[in-house]
Amino acid sequence: MALPGDRADRRKLALDFGATDIVTERGDDGVARIKDLTGGLGDDSVIEAVGTQESMMQAVGATRAGGHIGYVGVSHGVELPGQKLFFSAVHLHGGPAPVRGFLPQLIELICNREIDPGKVFDLELPLEQAAEGYRAMDERRAIKTLLRP
């Protein structure tokens, strides 16, 4: 049985990319599940890639004291309660990604077929339908949209 917001296609993709455990719970339930998987400690390193208040607080709660949270992208309306952040004793890192520094190596890995970033594209649309592609990703009907001319 699928949980609300649970996507079998995303779980399969995560497993294809090497995930060992998948946590489908959100918020406090997600934190509790991660703590359970880590013997009550929380994870050493957490990536927050959603950009919402709930996802950021789940990342803070799921990270062990002294651990690191890397956030990617631009957060929307996220406010970090000072005391909660202070007493969590986590390291919070984020900012613009230096894509140009990694691009040559990534292109080489793709050309040598060592990685396949195309696995994330599950919807292909013409460029004129870019708005629909973004809507599909926002509504979680697509993982990523590939726009073609």
What pLDDT score does 4 carry? 39
* Residue limits of CATH 3.40.50.720 in the chain: 8-94
Quote the pLDDT of residue 2.
37
The model's pLDDT over 24-35, given as tens digits with 9 standing for 90+, comes to 899 999 999 999
CA distance 49 to 56: 9
Q: For residue 36, count other CB atoms closer than 10 A to its CB.
A: 10
Matching residue, tokens 């296609």: 9
pLDDT at residue 136 tops 90:
yes
| E strand or H helix that includes residue 10 | helix 8-16
DSSP H or E segment with residue 47:
strand 43-48
The predicted pLDDT at position 50 comes to 85
Reply yes or no on domain 8-94 having CATH 3.40.718.10. no
- How far apart (Å, rounded) are the C-alpha atoms in residues 143 and 13? 10
Q: Indicate the pTM of the whole model.
A: 0.76
Query: Bridge partners of 120?
Result: none
